[in-house]
Amino acid sequence: MTAAIELHAVSKRYWQLHEQAMLLKSLIPFARPTKTELWALREMTTSIASGETVGILGRNGAGKTTLLRLLAGVTRPTDGHLVVRGRIAPLISVGVGFHQEMSGRENIYVSGMLLGLSRQQVRERIDEIVTFAELVDFVDTPVKFYSTGMFMRLGFAVAAHVDPDVMLVDEVLAVGDIAFQLKCIERLHELQQRGTTIVLVSHSVHAIRLLCPRALLVRAGRLEFDGDTDLAISRHLELLSVDAAPSPDADASTDERHVGAVSIVKRELLGPNGPTRHPRQDDDVIYRITLRFERAVESPHLSFSILTEEGISAYGMATRIGRDWQTFHAGDVVVADIAFRIRLSGGTYRLAVVVMDRDGRELLCADHDGPLMYIDRRPGSSGIAELEASIVIGDHRLTEQAGRMMVAPQGRLTAEEGPPE
Amino acid sequence: MLDSVARLDVDGVVDMVEPSSASFPLTGHHRVLRLDEHPDGRRAWFAGLWAHREVLDVLARKDFQTRYKRATFGLAWAVAVPTLQAAVMAVVFSRVIALGTDRHFAVYVMSGVVAYSYFSVVTLSTTTAIVDGAGLTDKVWFPRVLLIIVPCLSNLVGFAVTLVVLVAVMPFFGLGLGLHVLFILPATALLVAFCLGLGMVLGALDVYFRDVKFLVQAALLVCIYLTPILYPQHVVGPIGPWLDLNPLTGIVVLFHMATIGSGGPWVRPVTVSVLITAALLVVGAEVQRRHDRLFVDQL
């Protein structure tokens, strides 16, 4: 198998300007804006075989987007070199080159050709694309009259029918409804079967686990880990906890949100050993939020939920409605501790909090993008709840015991104390 | 596929021999992308341009269609605006201010204004083309210079129709239609080449310096007076010959030759124009090639 993608000590530097550069000003000596260098990637070496599907993990700003841009040929490295063999198509942002005034059909031509098809190839595939997008009756309508869903379906349909040799997928699984996501995953599976090399970038650990046997973990521009997806995910989650503790992710836990009469001024997820993003199964954790009352509120009612990536509630708990317990005054600050035990199947979960008035009629605060929480998957398990199931046939115990199970690189199951370093 | 890859593993994007791609019966040619810290080689860059000719075509059509889709009369609008502008300028400068003496002066003004309005519209578009195209170009690669070529082509349609209108009204001003009208072809070719060369340079500068587009807007306002469009070159006396250093002068002189067929010195301005255009094309293409895959870092 030849490598479809090879990276040889690839580095990429960006210059960060401290002010907008002006032509007239730059002609004056000593008036040039100062700039600092930023290394988005540092000496990254790896290779991806033809037909392989590889996930890329890493926090925001770790260098994932730069890596994809390099693979797409949009930018070139500052040092080192890379080779990509075959036709490359990005499934990055849906609807590349779409124009509101033009019809669906016209947009399919522009977008398809930008993604690398010839006019003839678009002509051959257009019926298939339109059918796939379920837009047969609307293909000659300007896309400005499309709903968001129609627009995305059309964009995805075009990208999915380019049939590249190397497909770069960025966060597409984060958009759209569940049906759309399933269609997307199904199509990616189909491309896998046909031997397409796929590079998948996603915040969704779930999607990467579903599609990629191998994953690269990027941290501060360097390749931190390259290998088995489960190990990569464990390492990623571990790093998220470590890195998240002092300075949190984009989904910050300290930024203030003024939603209404009640603001959340601080959010923290505390595990047995302090702040965490990666609690273990059976850990007792506390979601600690600091509330500030912007006006007087009498005996507020608080509800808490744990949401899956798809936005489905995995668990919820609420205080009793209509019970008198305390009156708060404007400016009061109070800490709420929501304690619970992790009994969830592996995946990414979001913590959400809603504060309402005493009778549950008026919304005082809705915090739907609280911190993310990552939980390791027990090998073989799926779903939301961790019910510690086991399967025994005859004398054979065919499932691993509940607890901290890891998958070794060769796919062999081994029990370990914790994730490997 | 393995063999052909190894054989053609050279700089840039290279078309490969069609492999027996059973899995992708519809896939055209396969390519090898090899990137390092150097820009694409000249041959590879031009090969990339050629490979994207269909993309250029579809982008130019899109630009043309979307520009006039909103307008009530579509293409008629593209013709009406410069024609009206030229007509107004012609009336003002030939009747009201009366800089020219003969009755052909209205056509003299119109032909210059038509050429200048193409130059002005195209230059404004090419200057911001790469920055404006950021949404298109940070995901998919195609030679960025396509974004510069697009306005040069899409504005050509309206320009051509306007020229036809201009030629059609010439007899009403007592001008015969002779073979000299064919000077329109080299005149247009030079105009487009000049706009392209200048656009490649300005479009690149605009990515790095955010004041370029304002400087261009200001320059376009001034430049029409530094070109013998609204007045005959001889009326400005001793300054007249200096106008020959303006590359637009040569272009406009060619359009005058095509319409009013006037003599006057043309060798010097046209030579200056051709030389500057050639220089801009070489410098512009080189700037575009060297920065092709770096523009995105600034956007």
DSSP codes of every residue in A173-218: GGSS-HHHHHHHHHHHHHHHHTT-EEEEE-S-HHHHHHH-SEEEEE
Question: Does A3 contact B at CB distance below 8 Å?
Answer: no
- Residue A375 pairs in a beta bridge with A347
Shortest distance between the Cα of A140 and any Cα of chain B, in A, equals 14
Nearest Cβ partner for A73 among B35, B57, B65: B35
Please check the confidence at residue A155 and state whether its pLDDT lies above 50. Answer: yes
CB-nearest partner of B294 from A23, A75, A85: A75
| Nearest one of A183, A219, A212 to A198, comparing CA atoms | A212
The token pair at A293 is: 């009352």
What's the complex ipTM?
A: 0.76
**B contacts of A88 (beta carbons < 8 Å):** 33
Q: What average pLDDT is seen over chain B?
A: 81
Q: Does A124 touch chain B (CB under 8 A)?
A: yes
Q: Which of A190, A157, A171, A197 is nearest to A47 (CA)?
A: A197
Who wins on pLDDT, A127 or B92? A127
Q: Which of A221, A363, A227, A371 is nearest to A286 (CA)?
A: A371
CB contacts of A27 in chain B (<8 Å) are: none
Per mean pLDDT, which range of A400-414, B155-169, B255-269 is the poorest?
Answer: A400-414
Position A415 scores a pLDDT of 41
CA of B92 to nearest chain A CA: how many angstroms apart?
Answer: 36
Beta carbons of B209 and A87 less than 8 Å apart: no
Does residue B229 contact residue B90 with C-beta atoms inside 8 Å? no
Q: What is the pTM of this model?
A: 0.71
* Span A348-357, average pLDDT: 87
Q: Would you say A266 and A290 are in contact if contact means Cβ atoms under 8 Å apart? A: yes
Task: For residue B66, give the nearest of A70, A99, A109 by CB distance.
Answer: A99
Tens of pLDDT along B242-298?
A: 888 899 999 999 998 888 886 678 888 899 999 999 999 999 999 999 998 888 887
Beta-carbon count within 10 A of B96 CB: 8
How far is A418 from chain B, CA to nearest CA, in Å? 39
pLDDT at A248: 38
User: In angstroms, what is the C-alpha Rg of chain B?
Assistant: 22
Q: What is the DSSP string of A364-384?
A: EEEE-S--EEEEPPPTT--SS
Is it the case that residue A355 has pLDDT exceeding 60? Answer: yes
List the structure tokens of B249: 């002068």
Residues in A touching B31 (Cβ below 8 Å) = 85-87
Q: Which residues of A touch B24 (CB under 8 A)?
A: 163, 165, 194
Residues of chain B in contact with residue A99, where contact means CB-CB under 8 angstroms, are 62, 66
**Mind listing the pLDDT tens digit for each residue in A166-205?**
888 876 655 556 676 777 778 888 888 888 999 988 766 7
Task: Say what the pLDDT of residue A373 is.
Answer: 87
pLDDT of residue B214: 93
Res A88 pLDDT > 90: no
A69 touches chain B (CB under 8 A): yes
Across the interface, of A24, A75, A82, the residue whose CB is closest to B296 is: A75
pLDDT digits (tens, 9 = 90+) for A241-295: 666 544 334 333 333 444 578 888 888 999 888 888 888 888 899 999 999 998 8
Question: Is A95's pLDDT higher than 70?
Answer: no
B1 chain-A contacts, CB cut-off 8 A: 2, 85
